[in-house]
Every structure is written in structure tokens, then in C-alpha cells.
Amino acid sequence: QLSSFITMRCLALGLFCLLCCNAAQTYRRHPRPITARKNPCKAIPLDFVFVIDSSRSIRPNDYEKVKTFIINLLQFLEIGQNATRVGLLQYGSVVQPEFSLSTYTTKSEVEQAVRNMEHLATGTMTGLAIQYTMETAFTEEHGARPMNLHIPRIAMIVTDGRPQDTVEEIAAQARQAGIQIFAIGVGRVDMNTLRAIGSEPHSEHVHLVANFSQIETLISVFQSKLCSDMCEVVDHQCQHICVSSPASYRCKCREGYILNPDGKTCTAEDTCAVVDHGCEHICANLPRGYECRCRPGYQLTIDLKTCNRIDHCDLGNHGCEHNCVTVPESYICTCKRGYVLNLDGKTCSKIDHCADGTHGCEQEFMNTEDSCVCKCRKGYTLRPDGKTCQKIDHCADGTHGCEQEFMNTEDSCVCKCRKGYTLESDGKTCKKIDHCTDGAHRCEQEFMSTEDSCVCKCRKGHTLRSDGKTCKSNHDDHCCPAEIDHCADGTHGCEQEFMSTEDSCVCKCRKGYSLRPDGKTCQSLDLCQTVHHGCEHQCVSTNDSYICRCFEGFMLAEDGKSCKSRITLIWTVYILNILLFPAELECSEGVMDLVFVIDGSKSLGPNNFELVKQFVNSIVDSLDISKTGTHVGLLQYSTKVRTEFTLGQYSTAQHIKSAVNRMQYMGRGSMTGSALRHMFESSFSTKEGARFNIPRVSIVFTDGRSQDDVSEWATKAKNSGITIYALGVGKAIEQELREIASEPDEKHLYYAEDFEKMAEITKKLKSRICAGTPHKAEVQESLQGSQKYVQESRKGLGEKGRDKKKNPGTESLSQPINFSSADKPSDENMCQCENVIMFQNQVTEKLKSLVQNNILLCSLHSY
């Protein structure tokens, strides 16, 4: 029994030892995760993706070992949104993403997701998994950070067998895309395949273990790779910055520098030298590109390439009392004429040119803008020396209109009358003084006023007694009385002629004059008021007759009484041109693309700007605006250029005029050159409505000197076929206007001293807009009737032409009648007097021929 007990005890002890050994082996076959501890690594942010082989060749126990390996490896990573981001995918015959780089932000979440993975147990499509990793897993949509942040992208591929697809090409593309690949092979994996997958150097990135139990030995290897700062342990030779990544490093340059091909050294980045920067003044390199800059006194325009001179006065804080003038980098204040700048450089004081007492004026003086001017007291005028004075002779110019005598006074020329006459209320004419009106003459029979007194007279048959008052009968002398000469005593007072009659002395006037009611003085006889002169317009009296005259714009007809319009001659030539030269009737510029370039600078002023708008609308009224007719665009410029409306925007005159009326005054600088550039480059583009084979015309309006150059863009515009009319007002510079206007200047350059004279240049400009047609001002009134006449004439002539066979002598007007080329003058000589006469003679001959052949249906004289 004792031996049996000992035997049983030994068997039990052996069984216990066997169980303990098996337990120890089981513990060694299933490694446990490393207990989480504080991360000893330097915190290097990574984008880390695990690519796990989940093929059927991996047994379930080995699959669990891979999960434990991943969890243990995570202990050396600092996981977070701004630290290391972790993603994981597993693959068999297909790729199955478990979680992306943006899915989890804590280590515990990642660990739990790894534990929840399930084995696929299918094929081995390693190449497909690498492709998904490159094209999807490392994209910004799936949580990868942008490449320019230079966060290392790490892919760790764990596989246990030969892939069923090719991996060399896709792995090379992934590495070229910046992905650092660690390749871990387990068991029978071909080492060449691992090298084809992993990054270089292969000694750092390719690892092979015999079985899944040995994969745990790689934990310490990767701990050193993930935690070591390669830039500190190797001689990297980077010129600027060394950036560590697991098992590797790269060189980086500071901002504004680029890495040389050797991957080590850096060169300053000269972006301006390698790009077409387009900067007008200066191109400046920046760390991430370049920028355009302007020279002092200029500022960058809205395109960030070209420069405009800075109008420091435009800023509105200059404080100048009178004028502000922009200079490079600043401004200066100036004063108006007659003022001087004070010491503060801002305010102005009026200059007193008379203060020094050197004016030398004889009587008075006055301070003006420019100088001290001498003046004279009332009744005196300044002599040519500008200093002394002389009495004014108001009668010297002969315009006093006095009938008899005149006298110079301090203020004016005063009319006077001779003895025996008194001045009328008009202050010019005189009337005879009637000394008899007071009734104190005491004459017995009759009386007569003379120059000095009232003289008594006697009736026929009586003689004045010696008392000068009473009369006695001639019959008292008992003899026949002698004939009495009533004019002999010289008291008749007649202004021109006189005649003694039976009873008295009677005054008479010379031919061309009539006697006034006073019976003494004479006035010029106006035959036009006394005869039926028959003049159609005006009757003008002459010494002994009269002549007829016509109003301005008309001429006297052959009868010397009626008047005919000078327009008749113009329309005679115009209508003959229609009849004789029908092919030349159309206006070559009747249809055009017209762009107004309007100065909106502050020197113009709001009131004058409204006048400019009226000017534009006046031109528009004279044009045939329609879709198929003339198109109009307009741009306004100041410091900047603004398109108010384009050529293709409106097709009616009313819409255009409404747009002009809505236009807001800019009121700043004057960049005429920029406006011409905009007109040339944009306004006549097809995008803004310009048409092909349509004349292009631009009207440029300015009132002062441009702040930039006008020559370059004006020349380019004219060379491209644009006809430019330059309109200047006030302080516009003649040389600039010549540079802008097309040639010849006399047809394309217009100038007015002020805006009150704008109407004159508007009228002239209208007459130039459509070359080759009569001016509207001359032909407007007779246009309607003349057109009707032409239509009726052509209709009648057409019927005549159809009867040509019946009447062989009849000529057709459907063809132009050509004058000989030898007689035809050149275009520029058409208006010379001798050529006009030659043309008139030739027309007369043609008219005679037409009348003889019954072609001309009515006389042109009816016009």
C-alpha cells in the first residue's frame, strides 16, 4: 500500500509539472500588450497608416499577434489632431479600410478600433492595397495634412506571403508621391518583393522575421526609429534646416530660398527673374512669390502691376487756401494771381503793388492782380504813358448826333443850338424860337418870328410904317405899288432855300429833303416810306432814290426786288450731284462706332460737367442711332477710368441720352493717357460691342493738362484705324490736343476759350462727323422738299427711260453723267474759285442738254 501511495503521489506531481510547463508555453505563445506608460519619444507629428495583410494564409492566432504588435507600437506615438494621426486598412482579395487619419483623435479610440478588427481570410492583393493607400488614405479628404506643411507620411505594410498582383510600379509611385514605406515580411515572404515595396535605405525600412511570434522583436527597432531625431545623430549637411522623419531626414530651406538639386544647399528664390511679372516699375521678390512696386511719387493701380502718379492734393488734407500742386512724394501750395504765399506755406495774402509809392500816377491809382495801375478822375482819360491824364473830348468820335452845335463837358458831349433856336427834348435836334408866342408884339396886321425877335408884317397892298407896328394902304399914295420882296429883309429863317410869294417869304428844301412842320427846317426825304418800292426784304433810301436789300443768308434776284436763299446754290449742286452722280450719294461715315472720352477732373467743376453732358447729347441727336446704324459708347476719366456704357449696350438715342444724364461727376485727377489706353484696348473690342468693317471714331474732351503721357496711346489708337477728334476748353494744352487728334489738325482739333463758346465747336464738330455731306445748318430747311423733288424726278425719269425706244433722243438718268477726267480737279482743289466756275459751266451745259431732251422735269430755279 505504501508503494502504491508513493506511486500515485509521483504521478500527481508529474501531472502538475506538465500542466505548469504547458501554461508557461501558452503564455510565451500569446504576447500581451505593453502596459501604457508616459511617451518617452520626442513629439514628431506624423500621418501614419497601417496596411495589414489579412489573407487566408494567416492563422487566427497569428492575426491576433499582428493586432498586439500594432497596439504595442502605438505606445510610442503621441496621437492627436495636431500630433500624430493614425489610419488603418487591411486587405485580402479586396481592400477594407478600417478607419482613416481623421476618424480618431485619441490613442484609446485607435486601440479599441484595432481590437475590433475581423480577419478577412481571402487573397493577397498587396499592390491594390498600396494603390489605395496612395490615392485615398493619404488625401486631405481622408485626414492627411497638406503637403506644404511637410508632415511626414508613413505607411507600414505587414505581409506574410507572395502578392497576387504586381507591386514594383505602384510602390515606386507611392514613394515618389512622398510616402515613406516600411515593409515587414513574416515567414516565406520574398526579400526582393519587400525591397521593391520599402523605401531606401532598405536597411532602415525593410524587415523580415521567421514567424509571427518574432514580430514582437521589431518593437524596440521601431521605437528607436520613431523616437530618434535623425538630424541629431547623422551628419545631415543641410545648409538651412534639417527635418527628421522615422529612420530618415530631409533638408529644407528658409522662406525665400529654394533647395538645390543636391538636396542640401539653398539658393535665394528670384521669382521676378523667372516669371513674366508685368510690373511697370519694380518687381520685388517675396518668400512665396513676388509683388509689383512703384517708384517714389507713384502708387499701384487696381491691376497691381501698373503705376499712377500719386495726387497728394486729392487726399483732401493739404490745407492750401488757394491752389494745391502735386509734386513727387508730396505737394506744395500756390496762390492765385495777385497773391503771395505766407510763411505758413498754406495761406495767401493779396499783393499791394502800389504800397512802395513808385507808381508815378498823376491822379489816382489802383492795385490789381499783376501790378499797380494808374487811373484818372472823372472827365479824364489815361495817356499812352500809363501815368498822366488828359481831359476827355466826348465829342471827338463824331457820334454825338447833334443837329447844330455841340460842347464837350466833364461827363459827355452836349448838344447846343444856334441863336434863335432851342433844344428839343431828344437832346439832339433844335427848333426855332417863336418870339411871337407871348402876344406882346403889338403888330397891327401880321407878325413873323425871326432869329432874334418877333417882326411885324403887313397884308398885301399895305406897307409897314416906321413904327414897325402899324400899316398903311398903298392906295394912299395914288400910284401903282411896286412888287414886294418879302424875303429881302433876311428874316425868313429858312434852313435851306426860300421863295418870295405874293403874301410872304416861303421856305423850301433841296431835292431829297422835305419841310418840317415848323415851315423853316428840312429833313431827309425817305422815299421808302412814300413810294411802293416792291422790295421783298428791305428798302434802303439813297439821295434821290432807293435800293432793295436782302437779309443775311439771301441774295438779290435779277429783278432787283425779290430775294432768294443762298442755300439754293448749295442745293442746286447737291441735287445735281444726286441726279448726275447717284453712286456717290451715300455718306461714308453715316454708320460708325463712336466712343466719347470725357474728362471728369476736379478742374472742370459740377456745373461745367452738366454742360459737357449737354454737349454729348447734342452730338447724339445728330446721329442715326440704331442696331444697324451708329453705335455709341462713353467712358469718363479722372484719376481712374470708368466705362459709363459700352458700344453694344444701347441701340436708341433716348436710352443713350438717359445714360448720359445719369452719369455721376468723378471730380478728381486727370489721367488722359490712361483713358486713351482704355479706349484703345477695351472700348473698341468685340466684347464691348465694336463691329467689323465699321468706321471707328472717338471724341476726346478735356479742359486741362493731363497728369500722364497721352502720345503713346493716342498714336496706337490712330495707327489702329481709330479717327480721334480732340476738343479742348479753357486750360487745355494745345500740344496735347495735337498729339491726341487725328491729322489734319484743322479737321480734328477744336478749342474754345470757355464753356460759353462750346456751341461753336459743337456745330463745327457735327459738320465733320459725316464727311462728304452738306452741313446740317445749311440744308435742314430745304431737305424735305428737295428729297421729294428728287424722288418725283427720278420716278418721272424712270418712266421716260422706259420710253427710250419711242424717243431715241431721251437720255437715262440711271447712269451717272461723267465729266472728262482732264477737266475734273483734285478733291483738295474743288472749292477754288476757278474750279467752282468751271463746274458751274459744265452743269449749265448738261442742264441745257437735259432740258432739250425733256429729261429735266422742272427748273432748279423753283428751289
Would the pLDDT of 216 be above 50? yes
Q: Are residues 624 and 695 in the same domain?
A: yes
Residues 64 and 179 in one domain: yes
Residue 667 clears pLDDT 60, i.e. is over it = yes
CB 729 within 8 A of CB 754: yes
Between CA 355 and CA 339 the distance in angstroms is 14
Determine how β-strand 323-327 pairs with β-strand 563-565.
unpaired
Kindly state whether residues 830 and 730 are assigned to the same domain. no
Give per-residue pLDDT as tens, 108-121. 999 999 999 999 99
- The Cα 189–Cα 209 span in angstroms is 9
User: pLDDT category, 32, cuts 50, 70, 90?
Assistant: low
* pLDDT for res 713: 95
Q: What confidence score (pLDDT) does residue 202 get? A: 92
Helices 567-580 and 833-852, interaxial angle, to 10°?
60
- Please tell me the total count of domains within the chain: 3
β-strand 153-159 against 47-53: which pairing, if any?
Answer: parallel
Rounded Cα distance between 586 and 604, Å, is: 39
Look at residue 52 in the predicted model and tell me its pLDDT: 96
Task: Please classify residue 548 by burial: count the beta carbons closer than 10 Å to its beta carbon, then call 0-12 exposed, 13-18 middle and 19+ buried.
Answer: buried
Q: Is residue 122 part of a domain?
A: yes
How many CB atoms within 10 Å of residue 231? 17
Q: First vs last Cα of the chain: how many Å apart? A: 168
pLDDT of residue 178: 92
Distance CA 428, CA 430 (A): 7
Beta strands in 405-501 (DSSP E): 405-408, 413-416, 421-423, 430-432, 446-449, 454-457, 462-464, 471-473, 497-500
Do residues 127 and 45 share a domain?
yes
Q: Is residue 500 in some structural domain?
A: no
Integer Cα distance of 742 and 748 in angstroms:
6
What pLDDT, on a 0 to 100 scale, did the predictor assign at position 49?
97
| Residue 652 CB neighbour total at 10 angstroms | 11
If asked whether residues 121 and 42 sit together in one domain, one would say yes
Same domain, 144 and 209: yes
User: Within this chain, do residues 221 and 99 fall inside the same structural domain, yes or no?
Assistant: yes
Q: Which of 623, 619, 635, 552 lies closest to 587, judged by CA?
A: 623
The total number of residues shown for the chain amounts to 863
Exposure on the CB side of residue 237, measured as CA atoms within 13 A: 5
Which residue, 206, 227, 248, sits at the end of a domain?
227
- CATH number for the domain spanning 614: value is 3.40.50.410
Tell me, what's the pLDDT at 232?
73
Higher pLDDT, 130 or 772: 130
Contacts of 650 (CB under 8 A, 6+ apart): 625, 632, 656, 659
Whether 735 is in a domain gets the answer yes
Q: Confirm whether 100 is domain-assigned.
A: yes
Local structure of 51: helix, strand or coil: strand
Please report the pLDDT score of residue 433 as a whole number: 85
Q: Do residue 656 and residue 701 come from a single domain?
A: yes
Do you find a cis peptide bond into 97, omega within 30 degrees of 0? Answer: no
- pLDDT of the residue at 369: 81
pTM beyond 0.85, yes or no? no
- Tell me the C-alpha distance between 540 and 427, whole Å: 26
Asked whether residue 729 falls in the same domain as residue 844, the answer is: no
657: which residues sit within 8 A by CB, 6+ positions away? Answer: 617, 620, 621
pLDDT at 150 over 80: yes
18: its cell numbers: 506538465
pLDDT per residue as tens digits for the range 225-251 = 777 667 776 778 898 888 877 667 778
Q: Report yes or no: 633 and 688 within 8 Å, Cβ to Cβ.
A: yes
- The whole-number pLDDT of residue 1 equals 52
Q: Looking at 19-23, 316-320, 471-475, which range is the least confident one?
A: 19-23
DSSP, res 136: I
What dihedral angle (degrees, nearest 10) is formed by the CA atoms of 323, 326, 332, 335? -20
Alpha helix ranges (H) inside 119-260:
126-132, 168-176, 191-197, 202-205, 218-227, 230-233
Taken in order 437, 440, 444, 447, the sign of the CA dihedral is negative
Give the angle subtended at the CA of 98 by the CAs of 93 and 102, to the nearest 5°: 135
User: Do 204 and 225 touch, CB atoms closer than 8 A?
Assistant: yes
Query: Using CA atoms, how far apart are residues 518 and 431, in angstroms rounded to an integer?
Result: 8
pLDDT tens-digit map of 260-271: 888 889 988 888
Alpha helices in 148-292 (DSSP H): 168-176, 191-197, 202-205, 218-227, 230-233, 271-274
Q: Is residue 451 part of a domain?
A: no
Whether residue 672 is contained in a domain is answered as yes
Residue 832's pLDDT is what? 58
The radius of gyration computed from the CA coordinates of the chain, to the nearest angstrom, equals 58
The per-residue pLDDT for range 442-456, each reduced to its tens digit, is: 898 888 888 778 889
Average pLDDT of the chain?
Answer: 81
What residues contact residue 110 under an 8 Å CB cut-off, 6+ apart? Answer: 74, 79, 86, 88, 99, 104
> Which is nearest to 450 in space by CA: 368, 520, 526, 534?
520
**Residue 437 confidence (pLDDT):** 81
pLDDT(353) > 90: no
- The answer to whether 246 and 225 are in contact (CB under 8 A) is yes
What integer pLDDT is reported at residue 840 of this predicted model?
64
- DSSP assignments along 387-408, one per residue: S-EEE--TTTTS-S--SSEEEE
Say if residue 847's pLDDT is above 70.
no
Q: Could you tell me the three cell numbers for 478?
A: 395914288
The answer to whether residue 806 sits within a structural domain is: yes
Q: Looking at the predicted structure, is the pLDDT value of residue 53 above 90? A: yes
Question: Is there a contact between 364 and 379 (Cβ–Cβ < 8 Å)?
Answer: no
Same domain, residue pair 766 and 821: no
The pLDDT-based confidence of 303 (bands split at 50, 70, 90) is very high
* 759 and 611 together in one domain: yes
Residue 619 domain-assigned (yes or no): yes
Boundary-marking domain end, from 750, 771, 792: 771
Cell of 554: 439771301
Per-residue pLDDT tens over the stretch 522-579 = 877 777 766 778 888 888 877 667 888 887 667 888 888 888 765 444 444 444 444 4
Q: From CA 554, how far away is CA 847, in angstroms rounded?
A: 24
The domain in which residue 72 lies consists of 29-227
Same-domain status, 682 and 602:
yes
Q: What pLDDT digit, counting tens, does each position of 73-98 carry?
A: 999 889 999 999 999 999 999 999 99
Greater model confidence, 40 or 372: 372
Q: What are phi and psi of 438, to 5 degrees?
A: -80, -5
Q: Which of 176, 202, 227 is the last residue of a domain?
A: 227
Residue % of the chain over a pLDDT of 70: 78
